[in-house]
Amino acid sequence: MGKRIAAIVVIYLFACVAWFFLGGTVATRTSNFNARLLGEVEALWGTAQAQPSPELVFERKVKRIDKEWVSVPGTKKQKLVEKERWEWVTQPVILDKSHLDVNFDLEHRNKGLFWYSTYVVDFDGRYSYQHVSEYDGFLSITYRFPTQRASYENFRFAVNDQVDPQITPEARNGEKVVVQRVPVKKGDVVPFELAYRSRGMDWWRYNFGSDVNRIKNFELVMSTNFESIDFPAGTISPTSKVATDDGWELKWEFDNLISGFEVGMQMPEKMNPGPLAAQISFFAPVSLGFFFLWMFVITLLRRIELHPINYLFLAAAFFAFHLLFAYTVDHLPVLTAFGICSAVSVFLVVSYLRLVVGLRFAALEAGGSQLLYLVFFSYAHFIDGLTGLIVTIGSIVTLFLVMQLTGRIRWGEKFAGPAAPPPAIPDTRRTATATP
């Protein structure tokens, strides 16, 4: 018994090494593919976008008087002379009102072993500024694009409902911006609009500037065509949300807010087959360990003889599932590949064990155990956030059943080996000799 268990453990350890190599190969292949494919998708579609709020600066000319001593011609005397000069003084100001409409159209795109969360965004921002200063001057409105690696269709930058047809992006501090300057005096209200259609991926944010900012009369209405919504770290939750036919309408409303947080949306991700295949491969030793334990117990109770070589072929059938899944998942839909690989592995086990111990045991006990420990435990990785709980419950149930079934086994007798035969009794009888 001891040698048999030791042989099974050695087979299990060799299978674990094979799975670690397979999982590492898939993970490396996935990482290399992702580094290349991500750049291709970003070049074709665009990157994640972070839309900054427009930057407002009030500019006015101020007369300065400089005094300096100058020499009097023909003498050694100096006199104090006053010179006038004009210089621009700038003062940051804030928006008085912001109303934004943001609409997302999400469409996942497949490249190799990955699905990418790409979206089309329609942005329409209507802003206004009221000049309360006593001084006249100019209001400078600076618009910064959410990312330099994107295209912006139907771009509109209108001030007082007037669009400058000659406006073009200009370089400033290493980035391209669009700037409009309008004259203002006390009491003037300057409305302006920014709108475009663009494409991005993964997430979208709207920030109010660096550090902590004051926001007045702010409203952002966001519409999605997807139901699974999440908000990136460092963003504010919506003040209200209403379900629509194909997604959500979310709203952020603030009358007077001071905050360093942003508003944003994290696009829902589709299951990526590459990381999933690697994760299932690394988890495979757990499935095989429970399967070997259960098979050992039920064969011991049923007095069925399974040689360690039989366990070797069972481990190979388990490994066939993960090997086939790793190389079919990038050619077929994930669930289709999973179903085919499961059917192949179960067929290998049942068709083999029917020759060893019979069809009934192979189909019911062995096939049923494989469906639980291989197929169901692997499928648990499809259920995000519940994988660990499902496997834990399955492990506890298995432990309970094994303890109940083996509680009356005398393990000392099992490991003692066959009893030694009794010593032979010598024959002390005399052999009679015939007398002629």
The pLDDT assigned to 250 comes to 95
Structure confidence by residue, pLDDT tens digits, 3-21: 888 888 999 899 999 989 8
Q: Are residues 185 and 292 in the same domain?
A: no
Higher pLDDT, 37 or 206: 206
Q: What is the CA 187 to chain-centroid distance, rounded?
A: 50
Query: Are 334 and 215 part of one and the same domain?
Result: no
pLDDT at 106: 93
Asked if the structure places residue 425 within a domain, the reply is no
Amino acid at 311: Y
CA angle 127, 131, 137 (to 5 degrees): 110
In a domain, 66, yes or no: no
pLDDT of residue 436: 44
- Cα separation values, 295 from 7, 82, 314, Å: 15, 103, 10
pLDDT for 173 equals 78
Are residues 343 and 364 part of one domain?
A: yes
CATH code of the domain covering residue 211: 2.60.40
Q: Does any domain span residue 419?
A: no
Q: Considering the domain boundaries, does residue 223 fall inside one? A: yes
pTM: 0.72
The strand pairing partners of 241, in sequence order, are 250
pLDDT for residue 155: 92
Q: What's the whole-number mean pLDDT along residues 33-51?
A: 80
User: Domain ends where: 266, 291, 320?
Assistant: 266
List Cα–Cα distances, 183 to 62, 86, 159, 188, in angstroms: 15, 18, 11, 9
Q: Do 400 and 276 share a structural domain?
A: yes
The answer to whether residue 340 scores a pLDDT higher than 80 is yes
Q: Are 275 and 215 contained in the same domain?
A: no
Residue 157 pLDDT: 93
Residues 244, 196 within the same domain: yes
Contact 186, 131 (CB under 8 A): yes
So what's the pLDDT on residue 277? 85
β 162-163/263-266 pair status: unpaired
pLDDT at 419 over 60: no
Residue 212 sits in the same domain as residue 290: no
Q: Which residues contact 362 (CB under 8 A, 6 or more apart)?
A: 349, 350, 351, 352, 353, 354, 356
Q: Is residue 415 included in any domain, yes or no?
A: no
Give the chain's mean pLDDT.
86
Cβ pair 344, 320 in contact under 8 A: yes
Q: Would you say 216 and 169 are in contact if contact means Cβ atoms under 8 Å apart? A: no
When divided into structural domains, the chain yields a total of 2
Domain C-terminal end among 266, 290, 308: 266
The stretch 239-251 carries a mean pLDDT of 92
> Among the listed ranges 39-43, 216-220, 287-291, 356-360, which one has the minimum average pLDDT value?
39-43
The residue range of the domain holding 335 is 2-34+271-409
**Residue 139 confidence (pLDDT) above 60:** yes
Please name which of 131, 249, 122 lies closest in space to residue 196, comparing C-alpha atoms.
122
Categorize the per-residue pLDDT at 416 as very low, low, confident or very high, splitting at 50, 70 and 90. Answer: low
* 336 plus 312 within the same structural domain: yes
Query: Which has the higher per-residue pLDDT, 84 or 299?
Result: 299
> Is 421 a residue whose pLDDT tops 80?
no
Is residue 311 in a domain?
Answer: yes
Q: What is the pLDDT, as a whole number, of residue 137?
A: 92
Q: Are residues 176 and 323 in the same domain?
A: no
Do 388 and 281 fall into the same domain? Answer: yes
- Which segment of 46-60, 70-84, 177-191 scores lowest on mean pLDDT? 70-84
pLDDT at 27 > cutoff 70:
yes
**DSSP string computed for 270-282:** PPPHHHHHHHHHH
In a domain, 299, yes or no: yes
List the one residue out of 116, 111, 177 whose CA is nearest residue 144.
177
Q: Which of 233, 266, 299 is the last residue of a domain?
A: 266
Rounded distance between C-alpha atoms, residue 412 and residue 410, angstroms: 5
103/197 Cα distance (integer angstroms) = 10
Give the lowest-confidence range in 84-93, 117-126, 187-196, 240-249: 84-93
263-285 mean pLDDT? 87
Residues 248 and 285 in one domain: no
pLDDT value of position 50: 93
Note whether residue 42 is domain-resident: no
Per-residue confidence (pLDDT) for residue 254, from 0 to 100: 92
